[in-house]
Amino acid sequence: MKHHVLVVDDSKLARMVMASAFRRLRPDWILTEAVNAEDALLAIASSSVDIALVDFNMPGTDGLELIERIRAINPDMPMAVVSANAQEEIISRARELGAAFVAKPLTDEALAAFLSGAALRLRKRV
């Protein structure tokens, strides 16, 4: 099943790396890119996003704050914080918000594991 994934990262390089991994792992899924929280919330309001991958360290609203705001709109959306900043507080806050933690530098294995879990959760929901 095809899914619509939102990638939120202020870095173009990080979005390119993510898009490239998707071309290898899930070439038929739809990918939407957002550069900050406002952009991301607009994309969610105006399209049928089912999965979100969110960078942590962004100017303005950080990734965890954004996930909290998305959670309020969509309590079930599979989401992940994507960061090299693997501090306990960040990982446990992500967990509290029901989001996964995917480490940067991004590997295909880590992304594939998150996406398989996300696809499974979405299938169960239907």
Partner 1 sequence: MTTDDASDLSEVERDAISEIANLGVSRAAASLRQMVGEQVLLSVPAVRIVGRTEAATLVEKGNSPRLVAVQQRFEGPFSGRALLIFPEGQSFELVRSIVGPEHPLEDIIDLEQEALAETGNIILNSCLATIANVLHKPMRMSLPSVIRGDGNTMFETAVRAPDADLVLFLYIDFTIRSRDIKGFIALLLDLPSIISLKEIVRDFIDAIDR
Residue 109 binds partner 1 (CB under 8 A): no
Residue 10 binds partner 1 (CB under 8 A): yes
Which residue matches tokens 């309590």?
75
Among 57, 69, 121, 122, binds partner 1 (CB under 8 A): 57
Positions 60 through 89 that interact with partner 1 (CB under 8 A) = 83-89
Decide whether 27 or 59 has the Cβ nearer to partner 1.
59
Residue 11 binds partner 1 (CB under 8 A): yes
Residue 51 binds partner 1 (CB under 8 A): no
Neighbours of 52 (CB within 10 A): 27
Give ∠ CA 54-58-60 in degrees, rounded to 5. Answer: 120
Which residue matches tokens 């994309």?
43
Residue 52 binds partner 1 (CB under 8 A): no
Compute the 3-state secondary structure of the chain and give helix, strand, coil in percent, each to the nearest 5: 50, 20, 30
CA dist., res. 92 & res. 47, Å (int): 29
Binding site residues, partner 1, CB under 8 A: 10-14, 16-17, 20, 56-59, 83-90, 104-105
